[in-house]
């Protein structure tokens, strides 16, 4: 009992005379958070590399800068450490060829940098004959000199495969490309991003962030593609022969690098389906055509289109001209027997209906300059199983709105579910009957 009472007295004494608890001094504040790691400045002469790499190499931060003053062929694996700096000579090209690869290993705060060795822009890092590239937390600056090439198809990263079938030979994760003297990235001849690419940023390009074959469109990852002379993705070759999806990436797509381009959806066998996400805008160069199977006849179409916009995120097909006008491009055409999966909803087709169309149809002819029945939207060759276009606006057509260019006794109308505004001719044309006959006076609503 005496020991217990002594403990109590000590405890009470610790409270002070007024009974208030006196707490021990607060512990000192922890040291400030350690600053995030950063790359040290590059000093010293660095490492000079020759014109070829024939055996595996690791380019370290300690040996930076790694200087490539010549055109260089890489035929083995090159690994580049975090904080390493690579400098490419003006007018020089790095070719990653068969058996070769570049893999950068940057991490957040410790990036790899690829830049100019002098004041002149370098040409590109390109893949060919099976070479691959992988860029993680990497900044690429000051490339893209087109030399004598087309500035609209040249780029700081030139990604090509070994066949027309698109493969993911470019991995890009937190890749930043700045200051290209042409485009940031070119995808062509089977070259594309892999499926795990993300966080790409391209700015300061003299032309656009990306130029690509249409077949590689579906590989373009989420990213930031603004701050270039033209914030649009250029489609340099418009042949789509397998099923792909065009994603909404925050900027429009421009079809063509010159006049008379086509975007054609047609598989060699079977059906190629093009899916367009809500919110996508596609701009067509003068006299352009968007053809879902360009073939005529009544055979099943080899291409299908699923273009379901929404009321708040419409899909827009329009002119690429700076000052658009009616008839800048031909329009959206469907050939063959429309595939049963094809669906168009909440779309705008603007400034189309160019004349002459260069192609007739099975709708009844009208006298005058619209005898071929050109239109912003044309359904050619065979009567579709149903009205597959809904909630769609045709604006500023230089000819008809919709050409029902097929034979039909029932003559299904597209007017109740769509809006035709600003047209020359008819809102929709009148189909011939199953025997190819037309009334004496052809209706023209």
pLDDT tens series, the chain, 445 aa? 333 333 333 333 333 444 444 444 555 554 444 457 899 999 999 999 999 999 999 999 999 999 999 999 999 999 999 999 999 999 999 999 999 999 999 999 999 999 999 999 999 999 999 999 999 999 999 999 999 999 999 999 999 999 888 999 999 999 999 999 999 999 999 999 999 999 999 999 999 999 999 999 999 999 999 999 999 999 999 999 999 999 999 999 999 999 999 999 999 999 999 999 999 999 999 999 999 999 988 999 999 999 999 999 999 999 999 999 999 999 999 999 999 999 999 999 999 999 999 888 999 999 888 889 999 999 998 999 999 999 999 999 999 999 999 999 999 999 999 999 999 999 999 999 999 999 999 999 9
- Is the domain of 206 the same as that of 272? no
Cα–Cα distance, 267 to 326 (Å, whole number):
31
Range of the domain at 210: 45-232
In a domain, 56, yes or no: yes
> What does pTM read for this prediction?
0.90
Residues forming beta bridges with residue 333, ordered by sequence position: 291, 378
In a domain, 381, yes or no: yes
Cα–Cα distance, 326 to 23 (Å, whole number):
82
- Is the domain of 351 the same as that of 330? yes
The structural domain count of the chain equals 2
- Is the domain of 70 the same as that of 135? yes
- Is the domain of 53 the same as that of 194? yes
- Is the domain of 147 the same as that of 56? yes
In a domain, 15, yes or no: no
Which domain-ending residue is among 202, 232, 262?
Answer: 232
């Amino acid at each position: 009992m005496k020991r217990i009472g002594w403990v109590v007295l000590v405890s009470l004494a610790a409270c002070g005379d007024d009974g208030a608890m006196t707490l021990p001094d607060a512990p000192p504040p922890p040291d400030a958070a350690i600053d995030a790691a950063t790359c040290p400045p590059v000093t010293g002469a660095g490492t000079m590399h020759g014109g070829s790499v024939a055996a595996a190499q690791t380019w370290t931060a300690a040996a930076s800068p790694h200087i490539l003053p010549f055109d260089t062929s890489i035929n083995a694996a090159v690994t580049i450490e975090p904080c390493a700096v690579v400098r490419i000579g003006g007018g020089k090209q790095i070719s990653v060829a068969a058996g070769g690869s570049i893999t950068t290993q940057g991490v957040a705060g410790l990036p790899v940098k690829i830049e100019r060795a002098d004041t002149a822009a370098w040409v590109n890092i390109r893949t060919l004959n099976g070479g691959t590239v992988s860029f993680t937390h990497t900044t690429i600056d000051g490339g893209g000199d087109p030399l004598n090439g087309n500035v609209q198809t040249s780029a700081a990263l030139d990604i090509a495969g070994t066949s027309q079938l698109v493969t993911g030979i470019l991995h890009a994760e937190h890749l930043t490309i700045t200051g290209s003297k042409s485009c940031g990235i070119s995808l062509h001849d089977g070259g594309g991003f892999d499926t795990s690419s993300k966080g790409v940023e391209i700015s300061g390009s003299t032309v656009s962030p990306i130029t690509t074959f249409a077949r590689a469109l579906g590989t373009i990852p989420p990213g930031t593609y603004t701050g270039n002379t033209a914030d649009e993705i250029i489609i340099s070759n418009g042949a789509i022969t397998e099923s792909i999806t065009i994603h909404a990436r925050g900027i429009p797509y421009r079809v063509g690098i010159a006049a008379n381009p086509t975007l054609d959806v047609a598989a060699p066998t079977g059906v190629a389906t093009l899916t367009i996400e809500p919110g996508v805008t596609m701009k067509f160069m003068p006299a352009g055509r968007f053809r879902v199977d360009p073939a005529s006849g009544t055979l099943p179409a080899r291409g299908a289109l699923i273009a379901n916009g929404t009321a708040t995120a419409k899909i827009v097909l329009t002119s690429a001209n700076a000052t658009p006008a009616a008839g800048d491009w031909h329009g959206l055409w469907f050939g063959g027997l429309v595939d049963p999966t094809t669906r168009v909803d909440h779309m705008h087709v603007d400034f189309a209906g160019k004349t002459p169309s260069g192609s007739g149809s099975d709708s009844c002819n009208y006298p005058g300059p619209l005898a071929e029945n050109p239109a912003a939207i044309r359904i050619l060759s065979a009567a579709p199983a149903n009205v597959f276009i809904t909630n769609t606006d045709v604006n500023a057509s230089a000819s008809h709105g919709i050409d029902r260019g097929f034979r039909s006794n029932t003559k299904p109308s597209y007017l109740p579910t769509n809006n035709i505004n600003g047209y020359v001719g008819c809102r929709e044309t009148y189909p011939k009957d199953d025997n190819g006959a037309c009334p004496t006076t052809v209706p023209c609503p």
